[in-house]
Structure formats: structure tokens, C-alpha cells
């Protein structure tokens, strides 16, 4: 039985959330990003992809 390889994505916070809605700033926090320039690596799920799409103008995401 082969284990399926889960795709990983590296997300970097590149543009400030100031001036954007609280919902978008909360999404940045929920992604695990704190300060500008911080990075996280997470498993790519449909939920995570949706979150990244909502704040795509504030983050840079690339598959690892």
C-alpha cells in the first residue's frame, strides 16, 4: 500500500494587511503568519488553498 504524497506549500507574508478588511487580516493570522516577511510551510488542503486565494494579494505561495 503506497502512501500518497501530500503537497506542501510555502507561504510568505509580503504585503501589509493595513487598509484591508479585518476578515483578510484574520485570514493572515489563521495561516500562521505574524510579522511581515514571516514564512510558514503547510500541507496543501482545499481549505488552505481557499484561504491563500482570499489573500493572494498579500502573500506569495509556492509548492515545496
**pLDDT one-digit tens code per residue, 15-41:** 999 999 999 999 999 999 999 999 999
> pLDDT category, 58, cuts 50, 70, 90?
very high
For residue 28, being part of any structural domain is answered with yes
Q: What domain count does the chain have? A: 1
Q: Which pTM does this prediction carry?
A: 0.89
Q: What's the domain range around 49?
A: 8-63
More confident residue, 2 or 30: 30
CATH number at residue 41: 3.30.1390.20
Report whether pLDDT(1) > 80.
no
Residue 47's alpha-carbon distances to 2, 31, 36, in angstroms, are 24, 11, 23
7-57-59-16 Cα dihedral, nearest 10 degrees: -160
Helix (H/G/I), strand (E/B), else coil: 11: strand
Which phi and psi angles does 10 have, rounded to 5°?
-100, 125
Amino acid at each position: 500500500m503506497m502512501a500518497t504524497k501530500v503537497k506542501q506549500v510555502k507561504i510568505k507574508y509580503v504585503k501589509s494587511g493595513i487598509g484591508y478588511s479585518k476578515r483578510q487580516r484574520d485570514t493572515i493570522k489563521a495561516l500562521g503568519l505574524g510579522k511581515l516577511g514571516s514564512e510558514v510551510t503547510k500541507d496543501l488542503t482545499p481549505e488552505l488553498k481557499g484561504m491563500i486565494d482570499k489573500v493572494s494579494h498579500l502573500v506569495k505561495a509556492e509548492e515545496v
